[in-house]
Structure 1
Amino acid sequence: MSSCQTGAALSSGLDNAGKEKIGRLLAMLRLVKDFRDARGRVYDLEFVLATATVATLAGATCYREIGSEAADLSQGLLAALGAPYGYFRGCYTVPCESTIRETLKGVNSHVLDLVVGTWLHEQATRDHNGDLVIALDGKVLRGAWSTENQQFTLFSAMTHNQGVVIAQTKVPADTNEITQVANLLKNIKHERGRTVITADAAHTQVKTAILLWKKRIDYVFTVKGNQTKLFQQIFDRLLPVIQKTPGHEVEECSRGSIKRWTTWTRPVDDIRFPRARTIAVICREEFDLTGARLSKEYAFIVTSLRGERAAPDAINTHVRMHWGIENRVHYVRDTTWREDACQAHQENGPHNLAIIRNLALGLLRLHGVTKIKETVQEIGRDRNRAVQYLAT
């Protein structure tokens, strides 16, 4: 289906500076090698990928919706994205659903992930000072299945401050995300001694800690019963500390309840875990508005950080921000783009759709958007509003 809408100009206006900024996005997408035969090729690969990104920004959740949204793009926006001009029709044209579907199924997902992740990393850290803190976590795409008839899992890295996914890799069906830390980290540009990795208890592994040590990357790991001896060592050393005044305490009131986080830390040099320098415990309590306690739990932490970088307030921030990868990435992709309901499963399709969602979400985050779903709905009502988010 081709788009031949009237009105070549964007309703929001697009000056030369805006076109140049969009050009940076297109230049990034141009780095992905086109796998298609040059004969009969009508649409450049970067244009198809950019069109899918705009459609996703407008709320498209699957191939069919991407095709429908693309067909409704204005002539001015199509021109800015690099659409070919059809002289017989007298308008810029756009690929149909089947073209978009076959393109997203065939693009090398490893290369696309690397290119998009690297570009988002550069944008997110352009004016960054201090430690770069990155959360690692996996996500199962419940509607998609691998060719081995196994659930499709992606392992991602998200920056704490911006909530932008800067790297992602597919977890092979015969293993788990613990084995993919090295593959993920090799795609992340980091500053030795100024990068911190946060991860849940599943990644509290000796091999992972040694890997980070060799790369001069610090870690903040949660410790649970899967590491029995380590947990017991930390518990024994922190038990006397909990009886004392906490190093940090913060309280928030939201959604009809009061939540309190209390943090104690202690430097150590006798924990049998690679580069363990500080241990911590965070008490998480929830109360109703009358002050009655609803829940209470403790989280035990081991980290290679020390001194001021391992102060109670810093540890509390790292741990709480790590939990944000669920709320700021996984939850958003599920509620805004219904990722778990998407049943794309052939070839590289599910992986590439997830990359496009990461790119759309990253563009919004880089522009300071916090209300993702509302913004996507606004763009859906006027797709030209996507221009301000494409320009970086």
Structure 2
Amino acid sequence: MKLKPKITIADHFWGIEDPRIDRTKRHNLIDIMTIAVCAVICGADGWKVLELSGCIVTIDAIGCQKEIVKLITQQNADYVIALKKNQDNLYDEVEKLFSSGIATGFEGIAHSTYKTEETGHGRHEIRNYVMLMEPRLNPDSVWSKFNSVGMVESVRSLNGETTVETHYFISSLESNAKQFGNSIRSHWGIENSLHWILDVALKEDDCRIRKDNAPQNFAILKHIAVNLLGQEKRVKRGIKNKQFLAGLDNNYLARVLALA
């Protein structure tokens, strides 16, 4: 079987004429284009640097890695990250902690609670949020600024049927269930709206790039990014989560670029 020849980004853009005049050329065009492609793959929707300071970063279980958590806190941001059952023993420990707490009414455990109730389109949903301050789950400080764990119990009634789902999270937030709940609801609202990759995940409709040929150029960059991210099959997540991972992990970014 004949191997597919390796093609670099420079090969892809070979032959593109540089429209700039010589005195304005501070950087090579191919360097600019390479940086632009990498930036859009990593989630950029403009030419400003992503600033996380003061933000609360919410990520699905793909983000539940010590390195990613460290990178978030290094930028003076907080995190709320979902747990899944394959996350070593952490999921089981958190689940047991909440089960024990519920059985005793959380006696002797610092905690906070919050509740929301929504009705619409024939659906009635109650969400109970609980946060616990539990440093015993991180005795050796292997997770950066791991201050609390959270639980969301969602009770949904639709067409006469009731379902109950429970999700667990780790967080750098102090025990503030309302803040925790609002962060989770915002995250789920975004995830539920990801119907069209270019329109929503890559913010095509909200793009503020309007000058000269910039809209067409940036649209091309977005198509390149979504094609490469779509070809990357090892990470079983949506485009938005892949972008975030590429922005935090240079090895993953290199893997995506290698698919060109």
Interval of TM-score (by shorter of Structure 1 and Structure 2): 0.5 to 0.7
Runs of 5+ consecutive residues of structure 1 not aligned to the other structure: 1-34, 40-106, 118-153, 158-164, 168-185, 340-347, 356-392
**Is residue 258 from structure 1 mapped to residue 124 from structure 2 by the alignment?**
yes
Q: Tell me what 1:156 maps to.
A: 43
Is the contact between residue 252 and residue 258 of structure 1 (CA under 8 Å) also seen in structure 2?
A: yes
Shift of 1:239: 1.3
Aligned-partner residue type, residue 172 of structure 2: S
**Distance of aligned partners of 1:230 and 1:190 in 2 relative to their CA distance in 1, 3 Å threshold:** same
Aligned match of 1:317 in 172, 182, 190?
A: 182
Q: Tell me what 2:136 maps to.
A: 270
Rg (Cα) greater in structure: 1
Kindly report which structure 2 residues correspond to 1:209-248, keeping only aligned pairs within 5 A, or say none.
209-243=69-103, 244=105, 247-248=113-114
CA distance in 2, matches of 1:203, 1:261: 23
In the superposition, the TM-score normalised over structure 2's length comes to: 0.56
SS in 2 for 1:276: coil
TM-align CA RMSD: 3.9
SS in 1 for 2:89: helix
Is the contact between residue 241 and residue 264 of structure 1 (CA under 8 Å) also seen in structure 2?
A: no
CA distance in 1, matches of 2:46, 2:189: 15
In the superposition, the TM-score normalised over structure 1's length comes to: 0.39
**Distance of aligned partners of 1:303 and 1:258 in 2 relative to their CA distance in 1, 3 Å threshold:** same
**Residues matched between the structures, number:** 178
Is the contact between residue 52 and residue 75 of structure 2 (CA under 8 Å) also seen in structure 1?
A: no
CA distance in 2, matches of 1:220, 1:166: 25
Aligned-partner residue type, residue 227 of structure 1: Q
Kindly report which structure 2 residues correspond to 1:368-383, keeping only aligned pairs within 5 A, or say none.
none
Runs of 5+ consecutive residues of structure 2 not aligned to the other structure: 1-15, 21-31, 107-111, 204-217, 226-260
**Is residue 331 from structure 1 mapped to residue 191 from structure 2 by the alignment?**
no
**Distance of aligned partners of 1:111 and 1:155 in 2 relative to their CA distance in 1, 3 Å threshold:** closer
Q: Tell me what 1:285 maps to.
A: 155
**Distance of aligned partners of 1:349 and 1:318 in 2 relative to their CA distance in 1, 3 Å threshold:** closer
Shift of 1:223: 0.6
Aligned-partner residue type, residue 279 of structure 1: V
CA distance in 2, matches of 1:336, 1:266: 34
Aligned-partner residue type, residue 158 of structure 2: D
**Distance of aligned partners of 1:108 and 1:209 in 2 relative to their CA distance in 1, 3 Å threshold:** same
Aligned-partner residue type, residue 155 of structure 2: E
CA distance in 2, matches of 1:333, 1:207: 27
Question: Cα deviation per residue 1:34-87 (whole Å; 9 max; x = unaligned)?
Answer: x74349xxxxxxxxxxxxxxxxxxxxxxxxxxxxxxxxxxxxxxxxxxxxxxxx
Aligned match of 1:108 in 15, 33, 42?
A: 33
Question: Cα deviation per residue 1:199-230 (whole Å; 9 max; x = unaligned)?
Answer: 00111011112222333221111111121311
Q: Between the two proteins, what is the percent identity of the paired residues?
A: 17
Shift of 1:326: 2.4
CA distance in 2, matches of 1:241, 1:156: 39
**Distance of aligned partners of 1:269 and 1:110 in 2 relative to their CA distance in 1, 3 Å threshold:** same
CA distance in 1, matches of 2:224, 2:33: 13
Q: Tell me what 1:298 maps to.
A: 166
Is the contact between residue 60 and residue 81 of structure 2 (CA under 8 Å) also seen in structure 1?
A: yes
Is the contact between residue 166 and residue 188 of structure 1 (CA under 8 Å) also seen in structure 2?
A: no
CA distance in 2, matches of 1:265, 1:113: 37
CA distance in 2, matches of 1:214, 1:251: 36
Shift of 1:257: 1.0
CA distance in 1, matches of 2:66, 2:222: 32
Aligned-partner residue type, residue 94 of structure 2: I
